[in-house]
A and B are shown apart, each in its own frame.
Chain A
């Protein structure tokens, strides 16, 4: 069960109408290293995590990623909502406009739609956690590229927030990996009759 809270995680400031910037930021909505991929990846991996702790981490970070998806959507929505048709065309968003008007859709910066192949759910907790550590680093790198492309100070502030969250999530997944190794070590000793 999820409860919706009628507020964003971060007070997003959007200082410009800027479809050009929207076109690249949308990759964090529906791109390969975006927030949809992140949230769905963790929320679907949580079922087969072996311990209460690892289930909690995947559940909670997956939930926070849903909130990040909403923050990214808010940026894109506000960057294009007042754009003229001329600005849409100049930004190279006319193809997007033909399919979606100014609605939000899950695509990367080049309009390629989101696919489940972006994510994996392997059933092996060590493999899954490594995928998640990599996912956090890829998302961090993407936010850095977006920061390089951003000419809106409000947007940059929000991108920096989201980027820092990737660093925190990386740490939590890493700590979970340590915990999983310890858990398996303990189980191994148990099966070998060594209860120390």
Chain B
């Protein structure tokens, strides 16, 4: 029996069982695709980068990021 239990802990998928907590009203549920807030997983698609902005992953993008970080740091310093 113990052997069986060990086997049942390994080499198997596991999904948490949902608990009944609260739900959205009918119309809100319909437009969200679920009545269960805890199962709501919206997908936010990032539209293609407009002209003039550096494409993600490029050298130019990294420089942009570094410049932005520097600006942030500067601001924080001023705030203090």
List chain A positions with a Cβ less than 8 A from chain B. 10-11, 130, 133, 143-144, 147-148, 157, 160-165, 167-168, 171, 174-175, 177-178, 181, 185, 188-189, 192, 194
Q: Could you say which of B30, B39, B43 contacts A147, with CB atoms under 8 Å apart?
A: B43
Closest to A161 in B: B33
Chain A residues with Cβ below 8 Å from B79 are: none
Whether A189 contacts B1 in the complex (CB less than 8 A), given A163-B43, A164-B34, A181-B8, comes out as yes
> Interface size (B, Cβ < 8 Å)?
21
Q: Could you say which of B1, B15, B17, B43 contacts A192, with CB atoms under 8 Å apart?
A: B1
Majority secondary structure, B binding face: loop
Closest to A130 in B: B13
Closest to A194 in B: B1
Q: Could you say which of B13, B17, B34, B43 contacts A144, with CB atoms under 8 Å apart?
A: B43
- Please tell me if the beta carbons of A10 and B13 are within 8 angstroms of each other in the complex: no
Chain A residues with Cβ below 8 Å from B45 are: 144, 147-148
List chain B positions with a Cβ less than 8 A from chain A. 1, 4, 8, 12-15, 17-18, 30-34, 36, 39-43, 45
- Please tell me if the beta carbons of A10 and B30 are within 8 angstroms of each other in the complex: yes
Assuming A10-B30, A167-B39, what are 11 further A-B pairs, CB within 8 angstroms?
A11-B30, A144-B43, A162-B33, A163-B43, A164-B32, A164-B34, A164-B41, A167-B33, A171-B39, A175-B18, A188-B4
